Amino acid sequence: MDKLFGKQLKYISLIILVLGVVLIISNSNYHIPSNNEGYQPEQPIKFSHQVHAGELKISCLYCHFGAEKSRHAGIPALSICMNCHKFVSASSDSLNLEEIQAEKEGRDIKTVISPEIAKIYTALGYDEQLQPSGEASKPVEWIKIHNLADYVFFSHQAHNNAGVNCNECHGEIETMEQVRQVSDLSMGWCLDCHREAGENFDTAPERTKLLSDCSTCHY
Ligand code: HEC
Ligand code: HEC
Ligand code: HEC
Ligand code: HEC
Ligand code: HEC
């Protein structure tokens, strides 16, 4: 009797374990390192690639200049944002709205400061007139979206030099209000492209063979 009960218990715990794993995998909030396709966290400042890279057509490399000469593309420092936001404190829509409102009310136009752009000023230790606020500066903690396991070697420079476009791996970033990881960054994903590098990019046949070697991506 005891033995039978023990066996049932084993089955029950196995079922609970399987259900648990299915639940974890199907719960999209569960963040599996490196394979988190579809990951789209909310960032501390509502920075839009659709506005900056899409509408304003700022080159990816203006902000992610690391991609040209290092492994990492990097996230730009706030000083890069200030090249423009020293002068641009709000969207043209809200500036136009204030102009119309001021004319209607017969008063001077007030400075409009977007709450999201104000976060850049606060982080740099400035007040809204761009004078030192007396508060210490404090970097914006952007959430890293793409994460490869430490045992994989990857370099942006190598791909950039070979003419592989950002979009091949990151999708249509210039249409995204909020960045989303579109590829699963799995080994199969890397290899699928590497095997066809000779056809799709001008990689020499002997180089193409090398691109599938374990030691190309693993130390
Ligand atoms: C061949 C695929 C591929 C291409 C092409 C590519 N990336 Fe990436 N990108 C990745 C991978 C993989 C990661 C994650 C790297 C890691 O965790 O070490 C990444 C990470 C990033 C990051 C996060 C910060 C960092 O440096 O790790 C940024 C920003 C980025 N890429 C921008 C770009 C831009 C801009 C371009 C085009 C100039 C580009 N990428 C081209 C695959 C690619
Ligand atoms: C080359 C110029 C330029 C650079 C560099 C730049 N921006 Fe902008 N940004 C603009 C312009 C212009 C607008 C207004 C677009 C519009 O009229 O809708 C804007 C809009 C914004 C907005 C939206 C404001 C609102 O309330 O609608 C935010 C937030 C923002 N930028 C953050 C940043 C951050 C963070 C950086 C640095 C990582 C940055 N920008 C770099 C030009 C720039
Ligand atoms: C004005 C500066 C600016 C420009 C231009 C810009 N980016 Fe970014 N990018 C950022 C900032 C700031 C972040 C971090 C916040 C976020 O995720 O939106 C970022 C994040 C990213 C990420 C996610 C990094 C991670 O954490 O894994 C990718 C991928 C990326 N950018 C690719 C691109 C590509 C491709 C282009 C050109 C089509 C581009 N960016 C243009 C500023 C910029
Ligand atoms: C969209 C296509 C594509 C994807 C996806 C891709 N690669 Fe590549 N990769 C290339 C091409 C093309 C080359 C350059 C071949 C040449 O030398 O001409 C390359 C070169 C490399 C190199 C060789 C660097 C050198 O010079 O020795 C490494 C390492 C590498 N890739 C790692 C990765 C890893 C890791 C991933 C997945 C996370 C990945 N790649 C995904 C196309 C891709
Ligand atoms: C083009 C790059 C690339 C090449 C070539 C490559 N790998 Fe990988 N490998 C990866 C990436 C990326 C991951 C991480 C996948 C993940 O996190 O899910 C990985 C993961 C692994 C893992 C961890 C287990 C797993 O499945 O996640 C092992 C083991 C492994 N690779 C062995 C190999 C062996 C053996 C070879 C040669 C036959 C090889 N790799 C060639 C990119 C590569």
Ligand 2, residue 46: give the atom nearest the CA. 29
What is d(CA 165, CA 55) in angstroms, rounded to the nearest whole number? 19
Q: What is the pLDDT of residues 133-169, one digit of tens each?
A: 999 999 999 999 999 999 999 999 999 999 999 999 9
pLDDT band at 7 (very low <50, low <70, confident <90, very high): low
pLDDT band at 50 (very low <50, low <70, confident <90, very high): very high
159 SS3 class: helix
Residue 67 vs residues 10, 90, 157: alpha-carbon distances, Å: 52, 29, 5
Q: Please name the residue whose Cα sits nearest to atom 35 of ligand 5.
A: 214
Count Cα atoms within 13 angstroms, Cβ side, for 203.
Answer: 23
Residue 71, both tokens = 């492994």
User: Mean per-residue pLDDT for 4-32?
Assistant: 51
Cα–ligand 5 centroid distance for 163 (angstroms) = 23
pLDDT attached to residue 13: 56
123 contact partners, CB below 8 Å, separation of at least 6: 78, 137, 138, 139, 140
Q: Does the C-beta of 89 come closer than 6 Å to ligand 1? A: no
- Probe target for ligand 3 pocket from 34, 46, 56, 63, with the most ligand atoms within 8 Å of CB: 63
- Probe target for ligand 3 pocket from 34, 43, 49, 176, with the most ligand atoms within 8 Å of CB: 49
Picking from 215, 214, 198, the residue whose alpha carbon sits closest to that of residue 206 is 198
195 contact partners, CB below 8 Å, separation of at least 6: 208, 211, 212
Ligand nearest to the CA of 205: 4
User: Residue 27 above 50 pLDDT?
Assistant: no
Ligand nearest to the CA of 150: 1
